Amino acid sequence: MNPVAGAIATGRHRSPVSLAQPSPRGPGLSHAVVAHLKELIYAGEFQPGERLNEAALALRMGTSRGPIREAIKVLAGLGLVTSVPNRGVFVRQLSLREMIEVYELRAILFAYAAERACEHFSEEHRPRFEQLLGAMDEASEANDGTRYYELNLEFHALVLEIADNQRARQAYDDYVKELHLFRRKYFNVRGNMRRSNQEHRAIFEAIAASNPSRARSAAERHVLAGRTRLLSAFQEPLATGPRSTALTRGDRERRSAGRGRVRGDRRAAVIVGPR
């Protein structure tokens, strides 16, 4: 095996994630590269705050730098990476405080969307909801966290679509992009996927029953439950790294209280998280 195949984004060597190499030709190349890079980031091969090296990635994937560059643009649009002028492209990184604040705003918007969706739901929407719920059950039983996460995004997007408020939809999408890295790994645990989909069913049933108060409450609880699980994930010191530090006593008290105000601007160097 070419030793470059194990290179990480900065050029250092690390055990490669077992992923098939993208086809060197064809119109699907860029999509294949995007999919592979997403998997590498989701798997923790590239940590938050880590710089992506186009040349190393091109060699690793057996392609030129052009498709890598295009794929990075797509990842930036998804909120997985950020570009820093004169420095390069880095895996997205958020402070614990920022993550909590985004969760709180997501809860407000998703609750609003679920309530509003009750006004616009029709029986034409039912098959799509049932298809997504069934597919998420299957992904959960197969312990396929990646598949479940993508379906979970589709479920939330469908609720926002039916709510029919473009400004709310765009704002919610922006918040979702900020949290991709920290939510994805949560779905590697089968029990978490099952709980998540049970909550999805409660939201769907409330919307289908045209019960706005129940839909709003179920949607808000769904997102805030994710915030609570995120805070519990920080019981231990953050992962090793130059920017990693343990939570202070005050942080732990705020976490235990389920509050969204955490002192300091600690940067999360782990890929963890709930919904």
Number of domains in the chain: 2
Look up the domain containing 114 and give its range.
Answer: 96-256
Using CA atoms, how far apart are residues 214 and 201, in angstroms rounded to an integer?
A: 12
Both 122 and 147 in a single domain?
yes
Both tokens of 152, joined, read 């979970």
Instruction: Return the CATH number at 225.
Output: 1.20.120.530
Q: Compute CA distances 16 → 3, 13, 86, whole Å.
A: 10, 9, 28
Are residues 149 and 183 in contact, defined by beta-carbon separation less than 8 angstroms?
Answer: yes
pLDDT digits (tens, 9 = 90+) for 123-138: 999 999 999 999 999 9
Q: How far apart are CA 142 and CA 120, in angstroms?
A: 33
Residues 140, 231 within the same domain: yes
Q: Same domain, yes or no, for 123 and 212?
A: yes
Q: Are residues 110 and 56 in the same domain?
A: no
Judge whether 22 lies within some domain: yes
Co-location of 127 and 31 in the same domain: no
Q: What b-and-e string marks burial along 54-71, b requiring 16 or more CB atoms within 10 Å of the CB?
A: bebbbbbbebeeebbeeb
195 and 102 inside one domain? yes
Does 77 share its domain with 186?
no
Per-residue pLDDT tens over the stretch 215-239 = 999 999 999 988 887 676 655 433 3
Which of 34, 56, 91 terminates a domain? The answer is 91
Least confident of 108-117, 169-178, 200-209, 227-236: 227-236
Residue 271 lies in a domain: no
Q: What is the pLDDT of residue 94?
A: 78
Domain-terminating residue out of 69, 91, 113 = 91
Distance, in Å, from the CA atom of 183 to the CA atom of 150, rounded to the nearest integer, reads 11
The reply to whether 9 and 63 lie within a common domain is yes
Judged by DSSP in three states, 89 sits in strand
CATH number at residue 77: 1.10.10.10
Specify the pLDDT at position 191.
Answer: 79
CB neighbour burial string for 196-210, b if at least 16 within 10 angstroms, e if fewer: bbebbebbbebbbee
- What would the pLDDT profile of 178-208 be if each residue is shown by its tens digit? 787 677 666 666 778 899 999 999 999 999 9
- 110, 176 Cβ separation under 8 angstroms: no
Which residues make beta-bridge pairs with 70? Answer: none
Q: Is the pTM above the cut of 0.85?
A: no
